[in-house]
Amino acid sequence: MSPAERDILRQRENQRREQIRRETEAAVRDSGLRLNPQERAQFESRYIQERRKVEQSLRQQIEAERQQQLPALIQQLKKEFQIDQPNRNPATKSAESPKSKK
């Protein structure tokens, strides 16, 4: 990995952490609770922990749905790109396909 790629990954990770920090602060504020520093730290920790669980669950759901939809997608593309059909250029068909779906 090049230094530039590492910098990009580091920047993305920092942005992700900052986003989570802002959302965690918003969760504390939106809760309406008046917390001392120790309670606030515990609340933030639990929020981040539970948020990770929610995000993992959502990722699993998305992946399961993707796996269900891929066979149909492959079949559709197989039909579009079949070589044995006369007068059919796969490159032309793929270029036309998005237009016909709009």
6-18, pLDDT tens digit by residue? 999 999 999 999 9
Which residue carries 């920090």 as its tokens?
Answer: 21
Flag whether 96 is in a domain: no
Domain count of the chain? 1
Q: Using one digit for the tens of pLDDT, what is the confidence trace for 9-63? A: 999 999 999 999 999 999 999 999 999 999 999 999 999 999 999 999 999 999 9
Res. 82 pLDDT band, cuts 50 70 90 = confident
Flag whether 99 is in a domain: no
Q: Which domain holds residue 30?
A: 3-79
Instruction: Give the global pTM.
Output: 0.63
Return the exposure string of 32-42: e unless at least 16 CB atoms fall within 10 Å of the residue's CB, then b: eeeeeeeeeee
Q: Residue 67 is encoded by which pair of tokens?
A: 């796996």
Flag whether 57 is in a domain: yes
Q: Residue 23 is encoded by which pair of tokens?
A: 């959302």
Flag whether 95 is in a domain: no
- The whole-angstrom separation of Cα 58 and Cα 56 is 5
Flag whether 84 is in a domain: no
Flag whether 61 is in a domain: yes
